[in-house]
Every structure is written in C-alpha cells, then in structure tokens.
Amino acid sequence: MKIKTVSQDDFAKFKFFYDQLYNKENIFYMYFSSNLLHYVVEANKLIPSDVNIVLVGSCLTEDEAEFINKYLKKPFCSLSGRYREGPIWDLLVGVSEKNFGWIDIDCFIFNSDIFYELSKINNNDAINAVWYRNYYNEYGINENFASTYIQFLNVDIINKIKKSHRFTMLALGYPGYCNSINESSMDDKEEDFIKQKYPDTVKRTVDYIDTTHYYQILAIESGYKINLIRDLTKRKNYHSYEAIHLGEAHNLHRTLLNYDEGRIHKRFNKRFSYYLLYKNLNILPEQYISFEQEFRLNLIENKLTTDILEIRQKINSYLNRFEIDINLLDL
C-alpha cells in the first residue's frame, strides 16, 4: 500500500501540539485549509463552549492564523503543508491517545445533544455517527458506511486493528487506478482481502474506496459496529432541523449547477455559503475580498441573485421547510 502522509515536520509539530493540550478528552477536530474561515467562524457559533473543539489548519496565510487566534479562542495547530482530509485523518489516528471526533467545517449542528451522545461510545462500537450511506451500487459492498462529516471514534479499537492489519484512513484506489479522489492505492493483499470478503466487488461502478471506508471495512470484519446514535440519513440531502451538511465547501465558489437535476438544496448550499462569506467580510483577512468577488461572479454565472437581502430571504425560506430555528444562525 503506497501511503500519502503529512510531512515529518508537520507530524512532529502536531505531536508536540497534542502533547501540550490541557484537555484531551472527547476532542472534536475541525480541519480546514485557506479561504474557508467563514465556515469555521459560523459552525463554531453553534457549538457549546464545553464541547472540546480543536482546530487544525493547513497551508494558511499568516493573516488567517492571526485571525483564528484573535477571534476563535480555540486550541489551534497550523500545519505548513497542503493536505486532503485523508492524511489528516491518519495524523489524528497516529497521535491521538484518547477517543476523538471529527466535524466538517460545513457541518452545522443545531441540536447540541449530538456532540454529547456521539462521545458516549460503547466498547464494541468502532464509530458513532449520525449519517451513513450504503455504497453497494458503487463498491459492490453491502455495508452501511458512516459519513465522515461528523463522527466519533473508539481509539482502543483502532489500536487493536492496527496490530492485525496494515492501516490507513486514506481514500484507496484499486491497483492501477488513480485520480484526484483517491489519496493512495491498495496493493494486491488489500485487494484480495476485500474481494474475498465481498465477492460482489466485481460489480463495482467505481475503482476506489473513500476516506475512512477501508478502516470501516476492517472494523466490521473484526466484529465491531458502526453505530448510529440517530439516523439523520432519512432526512433529505443531509439537511434536517438537527443538523445540516453542505458538502464540497472548498468548491462551492466555483462549481456550476446542473439545473436538469432540479436540486433546490444545491442552490441553497451555494447561497448559504456566499452569505456566510459576505456577512463576515468585515472581519476576515483582506484576501477574502477577492475571494468574495470570485464567488459573486460564480453566482451570476449560475443565474443566482447577488442581492444580499434576496439571498437572505431565500435562505430563510428554505430553512423554514426543515423547521430549522433561523435565529440560531444569526442571519
């Protein structure tokens, strides 16, 4: 298995940072790269102060790092390299001594009980989650995989699986397959292991397994559970009165909408992301001015209004459908 990792310097930096943390219990890590601070600011406004949030940034500007230290008042480690999520997951697994969680920057939790319920993980549960998805059509594997957007992991189970398997949280491509999604490639041993356990993989429609999913396969096959503390998957498009997840936050300022799909939630995601950027523009580092201009041009290209009051009205109208308390978002 060829593995992509964080640099030795960044690993050492994070290890030193982790060792100095005053509180290592029930950490929820929030990871982000440059030009995404508007999500970080707004997502954290919804999180109670007693939830142990630790921020991890990569390839940030000096102004962004200064902004975080000034406005967010959370433990924060800034890594030099630019990484996809997979290597960061491997970093956390390699360093963490205690059970820990992960929350995406574009995951907005309206019911704070979710944090407390996630962190109460049973001895036989590898992961606590609120969203999952069956990937049989893609992988040929008939299992429900926990979505990474927000989840909590049992470190004891991770350490046990490490003793019997080569281990990674990375997205894995089948041998000979490589694109921008997978961060590494499985070797013949990993491929044979998966084929033996799941013979229907010959029917797969994609040639990769997404971030954390290989670990989840190992956990399931080792007799451990992927536990849903509640099933928000039944709600449409990862949007519910308890939580919403946007998805592709780093790309929303440049994607083109496919109107043939008729997906209102895609338009909401783009409007909502732009609104969060706009409302924080007066405090964000100067680089976000040009970023906002790029995003605004993308709205025009997608035939969406750039009038901020109209955008706010459309956001409120959409959230009302899910009985989301708009006041929580401070729009």
Tens-digit pLDDT profile for residues 166-190: 788 888 888 766 555 556 778 788 8
Regarding whether 102 and 171 lie in a shared domain, the answer is yes
**How far lies 256's CA from each of 266, 298, 302, in Å?**
10, 8, 6
- Of the pLDDT bands very low, low, confident and very high (cuts 50, 70, 90), residue 283 is very high
325 and 279 housed in the same domain: yes
- pLDDT for position 278: 97
| pLDDT tens digits for range 104-131 | 999 999 999 999 999 999 999 999 999 9
Strands 52-58 and 76-79: parallel
Average pLDDT, the chain: 90
Q: Are residues 174 and 26 in the same domain?
A: yes
Q: Would you say 119 and 76 are in contact if contact means Cβ atoms under 8 Å apart?
A: no
Where are the alpha helices (H) located in 55-183, listed in sequence order?
Answer: 62-71, 85-95, 113-119, 136-139, 155-164
Whether 111 and 23 map to the same domain: the answer is yes
Give me the count of residues in the chain. Answer: 331
| 133 & 201 share domain | yes
Model confidence at 223: pLDDT above 70: yes
Q: Give the chain's domain count.
A: 2
Predicted local distance difference test score (pLDDT) of residue 298: 96
Q: Do 153 and 127 meet the contact criterion of CB atoms below 8 Å apart?
A: yes
Please give the pLDDT value at position 325. 75
Tens digit of pLDDT for each residue in 227-246? 999 888 766 667 888 999 99
- Please compute the mean of the pLDDT values over residues 159-172 and round it to a whole number: 87
Query: What's residue 188's pLDDT?
Result: 80
**If you average pLDDT over residues 211-227, what whole number do you get?**
93
Q: What is the mean pLDDT of residues 257-263?
A: 66
The answer on pLDDT for 260 being more than 60 is no
Same domain, 258 and 176: no
My answer on whether 159 and 273 are in the same domain is no
Both structure tokens of 292: 């906002």
Give yes or no: residues 130 and 169 share one domain.
yes
Tell me: pLDDT of 27 over 70: yes
The whole-model pTM stands at: 0.93
Q: What value does the mean pLDDT take over residues 322-331? A: 76
Q: Is residue 234 part of a domain?
A: no
Beta-carbon count within 10 A of 15 CB:
14
Q: Which of 303, 234, 293 is nearest to 266 (CA)?
A: 303
Strand pairing partners for 230?
none
Tens-place pLDDT, residues 127-157: 999 998 888 888 998 888 999 999 999 999 9
Q: Please indicate, yes or no, if residue 16 is contained in any of the structural domains.
A: yes
The pLDDT of residue 262 is above 60: no
Q: Give pLDDT, residue 293.
A: 97
**Domain region containing 75:** 8-228
Do 264 and 134 sit in the same domain of this protein? no
